[in-house]
Amino acid sequence: MSNDERSRPDPAGRDPVGTDDANTQELDPRRWIVLVILLGAGFMDMLDVTIVNVAVPSMLRDLKAEYSQIEWVVAGYVIGFAALLVTGGRLGDIYGRKKLFLIGVAGFTLASLFCGIAVNPNMLIGARLAQGAMAGLMVPQVLAIVHVTFPADERGKVLGIWGSVLGFASVAGVIVGGLLVEGDVFGLEWRSIFLINLPVGLIALIAGWFVVGESHSPTAPKLDLLGMVLAVSGILLLIYPLIKGRDHGWPAWIFAMMAASAVVLALFVAYEHRRTRTVGSPLVVLGLFRARAFTTGMVGYLIFWISLGGFFLVWTLYLQMGLGWSPLHAGLTAAIFAVGAGAGSGLSVEVLTPRFGRKVLMAGALFNAAGFAWYALAADHYGPGISSWGMAGPLVLAGFGFGLVIAPIVDVILAGVDRHDAGSASGLLNTTQQVGWALGVALVGVLFFAQLEHDSGRGVDEVTPALSRQLSAAGVPKQNQEQILAGFRACVRDRSEANDPTVVPASCRPGPGQPSAVVQALTESGAKANAHNFSRGFSIALWYGIGILIIVFFAMFGLPRRARPRDLDAELPVHEPVDAAGR
């Protein structure tokens, strides 16, 4: 998830700023301590976006979870975040940003505790949804607090520090996650990636209570709770069947839910139109879509995150469950992508985008696609024998392209939006990112697991010659070898079709009296066949991502040619400090 995007609160539907409170009152001498507290909260949020990917295989094994449940662990966080992102910002406007920030921090810390002590997949999914929802309350308050705490001449420095820390968190997540899981700290395995939030959250909560000043907006828009319910319901009615359809064999009710999703989202649009005419303060300002550039940018932004959200999930499964790499090995390899993304982001924002505008984003989409193509060819060619060094070139190229796109894309899209609509547009783009990520996880899951199921024989064909030689060396007669190889093929097929990868199919259990040398040969060959199948499935998923990125490239022709420099005042409402009594 982009660092630039995480730095943007949800100000959807807010009025533009008319005054600059931090410049019209005495500066808070504790403002830099406030920034440290905000950075701690932001660090927790970004860490939990990236750190969980490294621990997915460990969660599968420990909780005996199904693939679809792990998809929900990943997608649940961003769905919860998207659900409360807009409403969280408005609640801060009405009831006070400090209050909502502290509620968000406390809730996020408590949800992290429940993630860490989860005893089954459903408990973990529920805790992840709650964790994302609390982040949706916490994160939107950050820039509002920055705005009221720091004068205009210090905000650029503050935002630079904020972006740098979140960039470090995105890299640290995959490395720290690998270290915690592989180090098995206190025997906690994957649970430590969530429990590490407890001390950080408690410190931020206590310090924030005493140091952060309260503020609110006297012009805060009304809450659109029904709009939020309709929007989230429509999204869930689409994502749930995509994730669970394979588990249930794609029955009719799965497709009925997807059809209902279209109906609910249509009702949402109709309701937002009506609310705009009557009450006002809609969840989504539909008038923004009258601008072709904004509409095109939104579509491109959504499908960009569909591509990348799916990639990150399948990539984790490929590295650990396919190739059998340790969490730390996978995390260090993933850091290569993050380094490329950091380089692309810095160059894009500082040098390229101010000069070349949307052409930088278009080049970034092509670089990202080229990196995926290189990676797909390498994964298919080397199979289980690929190394981190063999992945380094594709990952740097793909990450660099990703950075070129993600750092400036929102500013380019906002260039076509009137200043008084900048807040609504920025908030809508934030929510779109979360929805795209969740859709990407759901859609690529359908493709990847279907590929594993229907092409399991490929891996068997790759390892059968070597397995036959091993069986002969173990003294197995020819007539018995055919029976063993047929059982081996059935075992690999059943494993590939399984919804729960931790269950050992009956076809994979050793026969009575089978020599240990034969059992070992079958086990090793099964792991190699699985690696070949995962490599092939990952390669095909990458080609799917490449196709989406090509669509993104063409969609970017509809963007404004130049980016508009970021204007924080256009994204935030008037802030009015309150007295010690909270009035």
Which tens digits make up the pLDDT trace of 5-39?
Answer: 444 444 333 333 333 455 545 677 788 898 889 88
Beta bridge partners of 216: 576
Q: What type of residue sits at position 218?
A: P
Among the residue ranges 373-387, 416-430, 450-464, 502-516, the one predicted with the least confidence is 416-430
The pTM score is: 0.85
Q: Tell me: pLDDT of 547 over 70.
A: yes
Beta bridge partners of 576: 216
> Please, which pLDDT band fits residue 565 given cuts at 50, 70 and 90?
low
Mean pLDDT is highest, among 61-65, 187-191, 270-274, 421-425, for 270-274
From CA 106, how far away is CA 480, in angstroms rounded? 63
From CA 17, how far away is CA 366, in angstroms rounded? 38
pLDDT in tens, 85-115: 878 888 888 888 899 999 999 999 999 999 9
Size of the chain in residues: 583
Quote the Cα angle for 140-144-146, to 5°. Answer: 120
Q: Tell me: pLDDT of 319 over 70.
A: yes
pLDDT of residue 576: 38
* Token pair listed for 412: 């380019």
> Please, which pLDDT band fits residue 574 given cuts at 50, 70 and 90?
very low
pLDDT in tens, 245-257: 888 888 999 999 9
Q: Tell me: pLDDT of 474 over 80.
A: yes
From CA 6, how far away is CA 570, in angstroms rounded? 17
From CA 7, how far away is CA 169, in angstroms rounded? 13
- Max Cα–Cα distance, the chain, nearest Å: 90
From CA 502, how far away is CA 565, in angstroms rounded? 51
From CA 348, how far away is CA 407, in angstroms rounded? 7
pLDDT of residue 101: 93
Regarding predicted confidence, which is higher, 120 or 216? 120
From CA 233, how far away is CA 423, in angstroms rounded? 24
In 524-578, beta strands by DSSP E: 576-577
Among the residue ranges 121-130, 271-280, 402-411, the one predicted with the least confidence is 402-411
User: Per-residue pLDDT averaged across 306-313, rounded?
Assistant: 89
Nearest to 288 by CA among 279, 299, 356: 299
Give Cα 320 to chain centroid, integer Å.
Answer: 18
66 three-class SS: coil
> Please, which pLDDT band fits residue 575 given cuts at 50, 70 and 90?
very low
pLDDT in tens, 267-299: 999 999 999 888 888 888 888 888 888 888 889
Q: Tell me: pLDDT of 265 over 90.
A: yes
CB 321 within 8 A of CB 534: yes
Nearest to 555 by CA among 447, 412, 350: 412
Regarding predicted confidence, which is higher, 166 or 309? 309
From CA 186, how far away is CA 228, in angstroms rounded? 41
Task: Report the mean per-residue pLDDT for the chain.
Answer: 84
Q: CB neighbours of 66 closer than 8 A, spacing ≥ 6?
A: 121, 247, 499, 500
Beta bridge partners of 215: 577
pLDDT of residue 567: 55
Q: Tell me: pLDDT of 3 over 50.
A: no
Q: What type of residue sits at position 64?
A: K
Residue 263: CB atoms within 10 A of its CB come to 11
In 173-274, beta strands by DSSP E: 215-216
Helices and strands in the chain, H and E counts: 22, 2
pLDDT of residue 93: 81
Nearest to 148 by CA among 39, 43, 17: 17
User: Per-residue pLDDT averaged across 138-147, rounded?
Assistant: 82
510 three-class SS: coil
Helix (H) or strand (E) holding 216: strand 215-216
CATH of 3-223+281-454+532-577, one of 3.40.50.720, 1.20.1250.20, 3.30.465.10, 3.20.20.70: 1.20.1250.20
Between helix 97-116 and helix 31-63 the angle, nearest 10°, is 30
At which residue do the structure tokens 């022709």 appear?
557
Q: What is the dihedral of CA 306, 307, 312, 314, to 10 degrees?
A: 100
